[in-house]
Amino acid sequence: MLPVLRPVPALTPSALVTIVHLSAIGAGADDLVAATKPLLMPALLAGLVLALPVRRSPLLLWGGLALVFSWLGDVLLQNPGDLGFLLGMAAFGLAHLAYIVLYLGPLRTRGLPRWGLALGILLGVSWWGSMVAALALWLGSLLVPVAVYGLVLGAAAVCALTTRPLVAVGAVVFLVSDTLLAFDRFLPGFSVLDADLAIMLTYCLGQGLIIAGVIAAGRARARTPASI
């Protein structure tokens, strides 16, 4: 079944910030890009808080932590050099670990059949091996950190398969964003029409779909009478 998108008014500010940010990238307005990037995840977090019917819940705890770590990653990656990249990648690694807890805990809706789990792991390992092999010659001292981060990222995408389709699609789109970022940063000659725009478009879309799925799960849970 294809994921169903329903309007979430609380996410409107997040959508507007995202549109401004992506438009600034397309227009080459670097100052506006730098100013709006740190606002992306706080706006999404505010939408999550406002849209969830129950605030004290694992959904907000782990979803909120993932967005906070993602915001920290966004800020750190704006610093030039390998140190900023390493710290930003570490922050995003923590974000994906928070998402994994969310996927396997409060967001889990189904168990995968053995063939589905095997296929997911096979695709994840194939993606990870291909990425590391393609970038290994160019990563230098960053090879091990990038490989470890790739394992966490791939594991998050596989774990998301146990959740609702909206979240699973978001996790895969997030993986696409980080893959584009890695190839754009490290692979000589890699080129897409507008790499920065493609990276941020898939990043914002992936995060937005995941959080929309978290909100949908929270609302569905609130509508379900508690068992006696």
Confidence of residue 6 (pLDDT cuts 50, 70, 90): low
Q: Are 41 and 67 in contact (CB under 8 A)?
A: yes
State pLDDT tens for residues 50-103.
999 887 889 999 999 999 999 999 999 988 788 889 999 999 999 999 999 999
Do residues 165 and 2 lie in contact, with contact meaning Cβ atoms separated by under 8 Å? yes
Q: How far apart are CA 92 and CA 96, in angstroms?
A: 6
Q: What is the distance, to the nearest Å, from the Cα of residue 56 to the centroid of all Cα atoms in its chain? A: 23
Residue 41 tokens read as 């995840």
Task: Give every CB contact of residue 29 below 8 A, 6+ residues apart in sequence.
Answer: none
How many whole angstroms separate alpha carbon 183 and alpha carbon 146? 12
Give the pLDDT confidence of 20-31 residue by residue, as tens digits. 999 999 999 999
pLDDT at site 226: 44
Q: Is 170 exposed, middle or buried (0-12, 13-18, 19+ CB in 10 A)?
A: buried
Whether 224 has a pLDDT exceeding 70, the answer reads no
The rounded Cα 81 to chain-centroid distance in angstroms is 23
Give the model's confidence band at 150: pLDDT under 50 very low, under 70 low, under 90 confident, else very high: very high
Count of residues in the chain? 228
- Give the global pTM: 0.90
In the chain, what are the domain boundaries?
9-221
- For the chain, the first-to-last Cα distance in angstroms comes to 31
| Per-residue tokens: 17 | 């910030």
CA dist 146 and 92 (Å) reads 12
Q: By C-alpha distance, which of 102, 95, 22 is closest to 62? A: 102
pLDDT, residue 7, reads 54
The 10s digit of each residue's pLDDT in 98-119 is 999 999 999 988 776 677 778 8
**Binning pLDDT at 50, 70 and 90, where does residue 3 land?**
low
